[in-house]
Every structure is written in structure tokens, then in C-alpha cells.
Amino acid sequence: MCGKEPGLIDIALLGTGGTLPLPGRFLSSVLLRHGGNLILLDCGEGTQVSLRKLGWGLKDIGHILITHFHADHIAGLPGLLLTVGNSGRTAEEPLTIFGPRGLQRVVDCLRVIAPVLPFPIHCIEWDGCSTVDWQINGLRISTCKAEHDMFTMAYRFDLPRLPEFQPQRAKELGIPVTFWKTLQKGEAITFDGKTITPDAVLGPPRPGLSFGFVTDSRPRRTFHSFFQNVDLLITEATYGDNADQQKAIDNKHMTFAEAADMGIKASARRLWFTHFSPALPNPDYFRRNAESIFPEVVLGQEHMAITLNFRS
């Protein structure tokens, strides 16, 4: 199931609940699949159960990205690590966890009940100040500070796309076919004493793929540029009723209307809602509050999935 071509990104919701789980609604988690890599975003209680229901696998999770340290976003980590450890993972297959400052201490505390694992764990902390330039198999990851009652991170993923290779131009320049693949990858070549750069045989720039994820935050102006033109934005939308505006402000969350407005201002191509309040058993009841702003908004459900493809 993990042998997807590099030009594809698969994304699935594992849990769409906030604070407390409900029957049929797991806590916050998203799974991303690209080029044989599985990346988990947040790990609320019960994530391992939802992962099994989805069926994309567990053993190949190489990275876990945490937004913040509230229990509904990280309390599922010990059980997940134990399950991955029982999947046949070995000492040669490390798992990297990325998150806010203090991550190592939190992971160490959670691992009191999962002390022995057959694979190593590496923790990388973000201090909220330095620029993050991290890549997983060509997938670039960047972060932005969110606005919650504890240090919280938003994530953006970008998969660049090289310009189209022009074989006719390569033939006209007399470039042997054996060099074409190198040029296609954006690397220069040297033959017959001449250096040929990729731009000599590549067409105009082409848009890549992008995905954004933010949960447990008030809307911020910085999000408009940070998530600008993403192919998919998954955002928290804790409160459906516009009358809960003050509650959203007090608890540092968003209403449906606020989340939809953020999607519009970021020019997101697709917008999915997640992290619904346990007091909102039927989010669809308040759909109009979002659709009046972002008509094609999607209210997230467990195991809803999408494949993002390079545009032709």
C-alpha cells in the first residue's frame, strides 16, 4: 500500500474529535503518505485503533509531527509506539518525532509505560524562532506558530515539481540520451568539455503540491500567507454556532465561520474541517455557517481520504 509514485500525496483523517472522544469519533490525528513514507500528524488517544481501521499500515510510520502537548493530541503515543514495536520494526528503523520545545521531556514521561522498544526514537524540537527547512523524501516541511493556551505549531508541506523535460531541445543540443535523466532531475552535466545546465532543456515552472494543517488555534493573519494557495488545508473548527464566538475566543479555538474565512483568505483550493467539540455531535447542523463563506467546505469524518496529484 505504500508504493505510491513521488508525484502523489495521500492524506487521511484518523480522528476529528477535540478534547473527548465520542462513539465513532476518534481524537485528533491525520496520516500522510508519500513515496513509501508514512507521516503521522498528532496522536490523540485511540490513534492506533483508527490506523488499523484505515489499513494503510503501522510499521512504515517514520515520522510523527506533534502540534502541541494537550492530551487529545499526544496521549495515544505510548500505545502507538508499542504497537509499532510489535509490528516487526527493528533497531535499523528509527522513528523521528518532531514538535514544540519540551518534546523530549514529554516523550520521556509518556514512555514510562512504554520503556522498551526495539527501535530508536529521535526527538527534534522547534523553538518557534528559527526557520525550519526539513525534508522527507523531497517533501518540504515548514512550521508556523499558532495561537493557543500553550505553545502550538501549524504545519505546511510542499512537494516541488520540476519543469517538464524537452527531449527535442536535448536532441538539438546533441546531448546523449544517457545524460537526460540527470538533467531531468535538475542537475547540470558536462560532456565534450561543455557544461549544460538543466534550464537549457527544461520547460517553464510547474506548480507542485501543498498541504496545510492547523489545529487548536485562533485565526492569525500570518496563516493567510503561510497557507497561501495550498491544495488542501485541514483546519480545526471546534464550534459550529456563530453564537459561540466568545467561547472560541476564550478557549483559543475557531468557529466554523472563522475557519472558513481563513481558508478564503489563504486561497486554499480545498478546505476540510476537523477537531469538533464533543458538544457538537452533529457538525452538519451548522454547515451553512461555513458554506456561506467557503461554499465547498468539507466537514471531516473518520477515514476520509484524498489523493493530491500534480496538475497537468
Burial, 200: exposed, middle or buried (Cβ in 10 Å; 0-12, 13-18, 19+)? middle
With 70 as the cut, is the pLDDT of residue 262 above it? yes
Burial 155-188 (b: 16+ CB within 10 A, else e): bbbbbeeeeebeeeebeeeebeeebbeebbeeee
What average pLDDT does the chain have?
A: 93
Round to whole Å and give the CA distance between 200 and 168: 11
Q: Is 60 a catalytic residue?
A: no
Q: What is the mean pLDDT of residues 297-310?
A: 96
Q: What residue ranges define each of the domains in the chain, with the CATH number in brackets?
A: 8-161+207-309 (3.60.15.10), 167-200 (no CATH)
pLDDT tens, 156-171? 999 998 888 889 889 9
Binding-site residue positions: 68, 70, 72-73, 148, 216, 275
Of the candidates 42, 72, 231, 244, the residue annotated as catalytic is 72
pTM, full prediction: 0.90
Binding-site residue positions for Zn(2+): 68, 70, 72-73, 148, 216, 275
With 60 as the cut, is the pLDDT of residue 103 above it? yes
Q: What is the mean pLDDT of residues 168-196?
A: 89
Contact 64, 78 (CB under 8 A): no
pLDDT tens, 209-225? 999 999 999 999 999 99
